[in-house]
Every structure is written in C-alpha cells, then in structure tokens.
C-alpha cells in the first residue's frame, strides 16, 4: 500500500478522533490527535474558555506540519484546521496531504459536546467561536466533505472510497 497522509478536520466535537481512528485502522497507518500537540499555555487558555488566536496556533501548526512530513509510513491526523491559511501551512512541504472535512451544524455538534466528559474544550461560546473562525474549504482545495449526521461507519467507508478514487485517478463527483 502506498503512503497515505490524511488530516480529518472540522470544529471541536464533529467526530475527528472517532473518524480519524477508524480511517487510520483501515489505512493501516498511525493516528495522531492534534490536541495532544498543543502547548500548556494553549490548553490552559481553552480550559478557561478563551479561544486561541492565530498567533497561539502558529507554533502548533508548524509542529503538526513537521509531524506530517516526518511520518514515513503515512498517518491520519485529527486537526481542526479551521482556516484556509492553517490548511495551507499544514500542506507546506506535504504535497500529497489530503483533507477530510467533517461538516455539521451548530445544534448537532453542540448536542455531542454536551455529552462529553473530561475534555478541556468546554462551553457553547468556545464552539461558537470555532464556527465563527471556520472557513469552509473551497472547491480548489480538493477536500473530501462528509456529513457528521451520517453514522460513523458510513462516513469512514465513504471517505475510503473517495480517497481510493483519488489514488486510482478516477474523476471526482
């Protein structure tokens, strides 16, 4: 199997870790969660309900781009990648990097958030700030989009199919 490098993106609570773990297992590559790479200062800000700024994210994004570059067997990385500039920064030096965008509305994702336990990202205002920051991928970015309302196994299967289409050179729909 050829090397696959995939970022599963979207706002907090959209299912990045769940879908990313499933994709990584099926692609037989390691899974990483970008949350594990935040600085202590970033985690403390978010735990206190303070949204991160672009300046807070720069070092984190650079560390993640290096992780993507340095994984020779490929990987799946769960990462919010909310802005195009963030996605571009992650793509730098990673020309084969692919993105899967888990798209959902505020109410659906807030319902998931409300059932979370032991996560530093808390509060409706924090989620609203992510939606406010989110720049949905443009068609020229070539991002695979998946609806979070679908069951996880269906999302994983659909993403694997779309990733396979790209690998085989089949036209996208």
Residue 36 lies in a domain: yes
Task: Give a yes or no: residue 172 inside a domain.
Answer: no
Please give the tally of structural domains in the chain: 1
Q: What angle do CA 46, 50, 56 make, to 5 degrees?
A: 75
Check residue 173 and give its pLDDT.
Answer: 39
What radius of gyration do the chain's Cα atoms show? 15
Q: What is the DSSP code (8-state) at residue 53? A: P
What pLDDT is attached to residue 166?
67
- List the 98-103 sheet strands across, edge first: 31-33, 74-78, 4-9, 98-103, 144-147
Quick one: pLDDT at residue 171?
44
Q: Which segments of the chain have a pLDDT < 50?
A: 1, 119-120, 170-173
Tokens of 9: 């993106």
Determine, yes or no, domain membership for 48: yes
pLDDT of residue 3: 79
Give a yes or no: residue 86 inside a domain. yes
In a domain, 173, yes or no: no
CA angle 147-151-154, nearest 5°? 80
In terms of residue numbers, what domain contains 145? 4-167
Asked if residue 38 belongs to a domain, the reply is yes
CATH number assigned to the domain comprising residue 75: 3.40.50.300
Considering the domain boundaries, does residue 107 fall inside one? yes
In a domain, 93, yes or no: yes
Q: Residue 8: helix, strand or coil by DSSP?
A: strand
In sequence order, the β-bridge partners of residue 31 are 76
């Amino acid at each position: 199997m050829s090397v696959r490098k995939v970022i599963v993106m979207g706002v907090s609570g959209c299912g990045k870790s769940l879908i990313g773990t499933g994709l990584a297992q099926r692609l037989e590559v390691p899974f990483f969660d970008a949350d594990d790479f935040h600085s202590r200062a970033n985690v403390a800000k978010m735990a206190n309900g303070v949204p991160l700024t672009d300046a807070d994210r720069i070092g984190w994004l650079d560390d993640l781009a290096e992780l993507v570059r340095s994984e020779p067997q490929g990987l799946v990385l769960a990462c919010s990648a909310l802005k195009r500039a963030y996605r571009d920064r992650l793509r730098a030096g990673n020309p084969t990097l692919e993105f899967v965008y888990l798209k959902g509305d505020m109410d659906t994702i807030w319902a998931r958030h409300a059932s979370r336990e032991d996560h530093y990202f808390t509060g409706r205002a924090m989620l609203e700030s992510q939606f406010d920051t989110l720049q949905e991928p443009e068609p020229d970015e070539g991002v695979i989009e998946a609806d979070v309302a679908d069951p996880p196994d269906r999302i994983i299967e659909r993403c694997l199919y779309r990733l396979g289409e790209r690998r085989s050179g089949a036209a996208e729909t």
